[in-house]
Amino acid sequence: MADAGKEITIYDIAQKLNLSAATVSRGLKDHPGINKNTKKKILATAEKMGYRFNSFASNLRKKNSNIIGVIVPRLNSNFMSDVIAGIEKVVNKAGYTLFISQSFESMQHEITNAKAMFNNRVDGILVSLAYDTTNISHFEQFTRRNIPVVFFDRVIEHEKYPAICIDNYKAANTLVSHLIEQGCNRIVHISGDQRRNVYADRTRGYQQALKDNQLPFEDELLIVNDLSQAAAIQAAKKILKMRPLPDAVFAASDFCAINCMLEIKKAGLKIPGDIAFAGFNNDQMACVVEPQLTTIDYKGFEMGEFAARMIINHLVNPGELQNTHSLVLRSELIIRESSLKAGVK
């Protein structure tokens, strides 16, 4: 039955029970040296008096915040929401809370967010890089103070920072091989900024699959843009003008694949009959378009869990900063109508 009047502190509890604040503090923390009955009394009194723990005082004294920062490009996908959920699960169990922020795909924002996290003294930070992040010097302030930084999904090669991602090269390779199996031999790839691992690796996987099957790669077949809706439509127009006409399009994101596909459908082409399509990420949308989109699925929740575990590990055993350096998660090819040339007429 607390009232707004005054915050109750451990001193108030101590006074009421004729104990010292030290004992109350330990009692609340379930310290082994405190008598069971005393603990019980402390807990009961704290509850009755409406005590609430003051993390500021605690953090000040202990010099850590029990907060993990998370910077992501955007929160608006199922994938990201799953990642966050996975992180939350692990992190909460370890007694930490999250401080989430969006970079909106801009390095400027990312830098600002990193600064804010730094000033808020997060104990560790999880990052999926923005679309246009070219260097990562804004994370040096963390490593300099031994605050662990872990990248996930949109990662960057750097010996200092562990990274969690899927094998984008292999996934793309598998996907493109599937398209080739379906009889496609002139496959366009639409990708994003090649400085981002996820896009560069997918491009490599695509090219390797062509090579493995003795298909020629031509520069014209690779379209690099920002994967936005506008870009997808523009790409579609470009594709429609290509001669000979490509017989498949593999876009590095479902969103882009879908928008491109719709534009091409609008031009009267049959999918997958004339052109097969495939995307990446298994977005909810992929099941909603017609035809349903072949794509690569990987589990955001799992990725979040692993990333969080890695951070927590670093915090628990501060010594072994590089025990597990990087981690590659499983991904899976999901075949749907948009690429099934064989099956459909």
Partner DNA sequence: AAATTCTTTGCAATCGATTGCAAAACAAAT
Partner DNA sequence: ATTTGTTTTGCAATCGATTGCAAAGAATTT
Q: Which residues bind DNA (CB under 7 A)?
A: 7, 9-11, 14, 18-23, 25-26, 28-29, 33-36, 38, 51, 53-54, 57-58, 60-63
Q: Assess contact for 142 and 161: CB atoms under 8 A.
A: no
118 binding a copy of itself? (CB under 8 A): yes
Residue 29 CB, nearest approach to a copy of itself (Å): 14
Q: Which is nearer to a copy of itself, 114 or 210 (CB)?
A: 114
H or E segment and range at residue 327: strand 326-329
Task: Tell me if 13 sits within 8 A of 42, measured CB to CB.
Answer: yes
| C-alpha separations of 107 from 145, 174, 192 in Å | 22, 32, 16
Residue 185 interacts with, from a copy of itself, DNA, none (CB under 5-8 Å by kind) = none
Residue 238: Cβ-neighbour burial (10 angstroms; 0-12, 13-18, 19+): middle
Work out what residue 328 binds among DNA, a copy of itself, none; the CB cut-off runs from 5 to 8 Å by kind.
none
Runs of H (alpha helix) within the chain: 10-17, 21-28, 36-49, 55-62, 78-93, 107-119, 140-144, 168-181, 197-212, 229-241, 254-266, 300-316
Backbone angles phi, psi at 43, to 5 degrees: -60, -45
How far is it, in rounded angstroms, from Cα 119 to Cα 128?
A: 20
CB of 69 to a copy of itself, least distance (A): 10
Which does residue 262 touch among a copy of itself, DNA, none (CB within 5 to 8 A, set by kind)?
A: a copy of itself
Least distance (Å) between residue 47 CB and DNA: 14
Of 33 and 268, nearer to a copy of itself (C-beta) is 268
Cis peptide before 291 (omega within 30 of 0): yes
Nearest to 141 by CA among 168, 109, 165, 119: 119
Instruction: Closer to a copy of itself by CB, 161 or 169: give it.
Output: 161
Listed ranges 12-20, 27-35, 79-87, 267-275: which one lies at the site for a copy of itself (CB under 8 A): 79-87
Piece of 84-92, 234-242, 305-313, 335-343 that binds a copy of itself (CB under 8 A): 84-92
Q: Does 56 bind a copy of itself (CB under 8 A)?
A: yes
Q: How many CB atoms lie within 10 A of CB 129?
A: 26
82 binds, among a copy of itself, DNA, none (CB under 5 to 8 A by kind): a copy of itself
Q: Which residues pair with 222 in a beta bridge?
A: 189
Nearer to DNA, 49 or 233 (CB): 49
Binding site for a copy of itself (CB under 8 A): 2-4, 7, 52-57, 59-60, 63, 65, 74-78, 80-82, 84-85, 88, 97-102, 104, 116, 118-121, 141, 144-146, 255, 258-259, 262, 284-285, 288-290
